Chains A and B, each alone.
Chain A
């Protein structure tokens, strides 16, 4: 049996006592524990070193004046580019740990972004809440839209016991339709400087999207590791019926899980709209797949009960380094796709072998 209520992967797993009979294979198990905890970090570092080495090789051969990859600015840029996928993937991680999936995040992101933009155009009436300098209405409406979509997902999943895959697939289509109906399919541009701050502003010289990502990471880490709710999420995902018999209100947990994911999708919608300076009806297309990929690379198991938010953050970073590094190296995007595909499957193979080891 896999341990239900404890996260595996990097960081949060408590060390377990080793039975005497297993002492013999101590070092092997030690390596396994180490790989489980820090494997993702090792992969991340190796990837960075690899890209950096290739860049350095080009510098040595005189093709390039400098190593463009290994600069502080470039690492900040990678974090900036990772921020949206990171926020979505952290939400996705909560859902996947609970044993579900949320395919609607890309569409919900577009819907929330469009709603925020519609209240934050330069031509909108200037009040303290909306228009050029007001920011409350655009931001709150986008977050509420995300929460509402998530609440519907969670309610339908738990109340009617329908597979999350299908429910959130429905929401994927519906939210895209809502987005288009808001403006009849047209984009909204000329956004107020206040809204654009969320994508282009800086706080203590750090771009705002990175700050948002780190805050989200911190909050969700605490939520999953230091609260009763977090333990319940792992319990529900590990074994729902035993979680129910042990007194956990599983339906309520699930609803909050999807609300969290919807909320974060709404937040990501604000950031993306602010970043590109325009809310578009086709924004966020297939972002759900990138979010799932980041979570899975980071060690979340689609079977539920397993996953960590720090693993996911590194999963997203790995994808970000690949996009950035391969762009800098001038590798065509179809090879990027192939490499990403291989990495996801490799992560799951690793995950499956971990499962066997725990038997």
Chain B
């Protein structure tokens, strides 16, 4: 009993001192398991991860793994990172169910595991840092419907069927539509274009061919597909400004399209998701003395509380991108 008390107090002292200790002696090693690296959004997450003050100051050694869009690969990479004695794991999971394995493995190895950007169907993780997709879907659909004054025909271009993004953003879309008077808004079509601009381009062209002159709004569950729809409208010789179009993510191309007045984008803050994840991971590794280093906590002061890094879930706020803040966002990406 005494021994364990002594041991515990030593641990506590060590934990209290460890930020200084770690900086002086050993870097904290964080493994980040990304589901893939072929899209702008994941690239942005990686970039902002490397720009975290703890990384630039040398406190943290960060390693990114490319999951190659395969849940099984990600599970293997989790084992790899654990074997390489990393201190914490951040996972941006490919699959809602299959990647629960990552959390199990990290827990078995007694290292903190933070789920970033997407969600996992478990509560065993140290913490979750993500944006609420239902809210995102709601915001974009509401934006389209406001422009249409709750009256007209819309099409919904969905993410990959059965993925958490498609399901939750879809729920948000429907919530906004249900707030309009019953029957005022008709959903002419809803189909997946698998997050792809090229697929959405073909799909939207076919819809324009079918519903000649009757489509008023496009609710695309991500920006890439909204941009594909815009290209389709242009290639059909129609005026983009006559359509209400919205997407989610705030990718660079979409910001330019917002500036041209062609669409609205709901920014999913890659920087906040990544940097908050790193802060939460550091708090779990270094203990109660750790103060978050990322500027995002200051930026979202009113809507996102640090709570000593103990929250089970951090909901990173969405930002509606308009012509007024598009320039500022573009500038920050240079």
Least distance between A169 CB and chain B CB atoms (Å): 15
Q: In the bound complex, do residue B37 and residue A180 qualify as a contact, i.e. CB atoms below 8 Å apart? A: yes
Least distance between B145 CB and chain A CB atoms (Å): 22
Judged by a CB distance under 8 angstroms, whether A323 is at the interface is: yes
**A residues near B, CB below 8 A?**
66, 68, 71, 73-74, 77, 80-81, 180, 184-187, 189-190, 200, 207, 272, 275-278, 280-283, 323-324, 327-328, 330, 332-334
> A334 to B160, alpha carbons, bound, how many Å?
11
Partner of A272, one of B40, B198, B228: B198
> A308 to B149, alpha carbons, bound, how many Å?
55
CB<8 Å pairs between A and B, sample of 5 = A184-B43, A185-B42, A277-B231, A280-B197, A324-B209
Least distance between B154 CB and chain A CB atoms (Å): 15
Instruction: From B40, B191, B256, name the one whose CB has the most chain A CB atoms within 10 angstroms.
Output: B40
Q: In the bound complex, do residue A276 and residue B209 qualify as a contact, i.e. CB atoms below 8 Å apart? A: no
Partner of B206, one of A77, A189, A190, A207: A77
Least distance between B111 CB and chain A CB atoms (Å): 28
Partner of A332, one of B43, B191, B206, B227: B191
Q: In the bound complex, do residue A328 and residue B201 qualify as a contact, i.e. CB atoms below 8 Å apart? A: no
> A108 to B38, alpha carbons, bound, how many Å?
15
Question: Given A68-B210, A77-B209, A332-B191, are A185 and B43 neighbors across the interface (CB < 8 Å)?
Answer: yes
> A328 to B191, alpha carbons, bound, how many Å?
11
Q: In the bound complex, do residue B209 and residue A73 qualify as a contact, i.e. CB atoms below 8 Å apart? A: yes
Question: Given A200-B235, A276-B198, A328-B210, are A189 and B256 neighbors across the interface (CB < 8 Å)?
Answer: yes
Size of the chain B interface, CB-CB below 8 angstroms: 32
> A327 to B253, alpha carbons, bound, how many Å?
27
Q: In the bound complex, do residue A278 and residue B202 qualify as a contact, i.e. CB atoms below 8 Å apart? A: no
Least distance between A192 CB and chain B CB atoms (Å): 14
Q: In the bound complex, do residue B234 and residue A187 qualify as a contact, i.e. CB atoms below 8 Å apart? A: no
Identify the closest chain B residue to A280 (Cβ). B197
9 A-B pairs besides A187-B252, A276-B201, A330-B189 with CB distance below 8 A are A73-B209, A77-B209, A200-B235, A275-B198, A276-B231, A278-B253, A328-B206, A328-B210, A334-B161
> A348 to B251, alpha carbons, bound, how many Å?
43
Q: In the bound complex, do residue B209 and residue A185 qualify as a contact, i.e. CB atoms below 8 Å apart? A: no
Residues of A within 8 A of B231 (CB): 200, 275-277
Least distance between A319 CB and chain B CB atoms (Å): 12
Q: In the bound complex, do residue A276 and residue B197 qualify as a contact, i.e. CB atoms below 8 Å apart? A: yes
Judged by a CB distance under 8 angstroms, whether B205 is at the interface is: yes
Q: In the bound complex, do residue A275 and residue B201 qualify as a contact, i.e. CB atoms below 8 Å apart? A: yes
Q: In the bound complex, do residue B38 and residue A324 qualify as a contact, i.e. CB atoms below 8 Å apart? A: no
Q: In the bound complex, do residue B212 and residue A68 qualify as a contact, i.e. CB atoms below 8 Å apart? A: yes
> A323 to B203, alpha carbons, bound, how many Å?
9
Partner of A81, one of B39, B42, B161, B202: B202
> A184 to B196, alpha carbons, bound, how many Å?
19
Identify the closest chain B residue to A327 (Cβ). B206
> A66 to B210, alpha carbons, bound, how many Å?
9
> A278 to B209, alpha carbons, bound, how many Å?
24
Q: In the bound complex, do residue A186 and residue B40 qualify as a contact, i.e. CB atoms below 8 Å apart? A: yes
> A282 to B196, alpha carbons, bound, how many Å?
9
Judged by a CB distance under 8 angstroms, whether B207 is at the interface is: yes
B198-240, CB < 8 A from A: 198, 201-203, 205-207, 209-212, 227-228, 231, 234-235
> A43 to B234, alpha carbons, bound, how many Å?
33
> A269 to B115, alpha carbons, bound, how many Å?
36
Interface string of B34-46 (1 = CB under 8 A from A): 0001111011000
Residues of B within 8 A of A66 (CB): 212
> A187 to B39, alpha carbons, bound, how many Å?
8
Least distance between A88 CB and chain B CB atoms (Å): 13
Residues of B within 8 A of A73 (CB): 209
Residues of B within 8 A of A327 (CB): 191, 202-203, 206-207, 210
Identify the closest chain A residue to B206 (Cβ). A327
Identify the closest chain A residue to B199 (Cβ). A333
B251-306, CB < 8 A from A: 251-253, 256
Residues of A within 8 A of B201 (CB): 275-276
Judged by a CB distance under 8 angstroms, whether B171 is at the interface is: no
Least distance between B249 CB and chain A CB atoms (Å): 12
> A186 to B39, alpha carbons, bound, how many Å?
7
Partner of B38, one of A81, A272, A281, A333: A281
Q: In the bound complex, do residue A187 and residue B253 qualify as a contact, i.e. CB atoms below 8 Å apart? A: yes
> A81 to B201, alpha carbons, bound, how many Å?
9
B6-44, CB < 8 A from A: 37-40, 42-43
Residues of B within 8 A of A323 (CB): 202, 206
Partner of A333, one of B39, B191, B198, B252: B191
Residues of B within 8 A of A186 (CB): 40, 43
> A323 to B201, alpha carbons, bound, how many Å?
12
Identify the closest chain B residue to A184 (Cβ). B43
Residues of A within 8 A of B235 (CB): 80, 200, 207, 275
Residues of A within 8 A of B212 (CB): 66, 68
Least distance between A269 CB and chain B CB atoms (Å): 12
Residues of B within 8 A of A330 (CB): 189, 191
Least distance between B158 CB and chain A CB atoms (Å): 10
Residues of A within 8 A of B206 (CB): 77, 323-324, 327-328
Least distance between A252 CB and chain B CB atoms (Å): 36
Identify the closest chain A residue to B193 (Cβ). A333
Residues of A within 8 A of B40 (CB): 186-187
> A278 to B191, alpha carbons, bound, how many Å?
23
Residues of B within 8 A of A77 (CB): 205-206, 209
- A-B pairs with lowest CB-CB distance, top 4: A327-B206, A282-B38, A68-B210, A189-B253
Least distance between B282 CB and chain A CB atoms (Å): 26
Least distance between A68 CB and chain B CB atoms (Å): 4
> A327 to B37, alpha carbons, bound, how many Å?
30
> A278 to B254, alpha carbons, bound, how many Å?
11
Instruction: From A77, A185, A275, name the one whose CB has the most chain B CB atoms within 10 angstroms.
Output: A185
